[in-house]
Amino acid sequence: MAELEDEEVAAPEVEKEEDVTDLNGAVRGVLKQALKVDGVIRGLHEVAKNVEAAQAQVVFLAESCNEATYKKLIQGLCLEKNVPLIDVPDNKSLGEWAGLCKIDKDGLPRKVVGASCVAVTDFGEEGQAYGFMMKHLGK
């Protein structure tokens, strides 16, 4: 019993939000917060379903997606339902930010799966990244 009393209980580390200087950094931060509250939707079918149901608040589309009909479908749905659409340069980066990878013991992403489109239904905590993204969208 005495051993337990002597041990100090470590306070959980408060994660400091990184400074956002560009749109990609803002997208990464927003997706990180949304993942914490299970507010990230991945894949064409699920994203389309959520946009149609007016649940998606913002959609990210990879510019590196080489399927023209895929891009037109997402762009058309977002336009029709007035959902903001943000282009992200690389689908591997988008997949990593959306949690489609394994993180190794060093904290580096491994086995990253590319994502052509990702939607956010719940932003979670609205921090600096959220503010930067909303300013970019003009809201």
1-13: pLDDT as tens digits: 555 454 444 444 4
Residue 18, pLDDT score: 57
pTM recorded for the entire structure: 0.74
Residue 49, pLDDT score: 87
To the question of domain 22-137 being in CATH 3.30.1330.30, the answer is yes
Residue 94, pLDDT score: 78
Helix axes 23-36, 128-137, angle to 10 degrees: 120
Residue 17, pLDDT score: 47
3-state helix, strand and coil shares in percent for the chain, rounded to the nearest 5: 40, 15, 45
Q: Quick one: which of 128, 131, 135 has its CA closest to 17?
A: 128
Q: 48: how many CB neighbours lie within 10 A of its CB?
A: 18
**Residues in the chain with pLDDT values less than 70:** 1-20, 104, 107-110, 139
Q: What contacts 19, CB < 8 A, 6 or more positions away? A: 25, 128
Q: Tokens 């994660």 label which residue?
A: 15
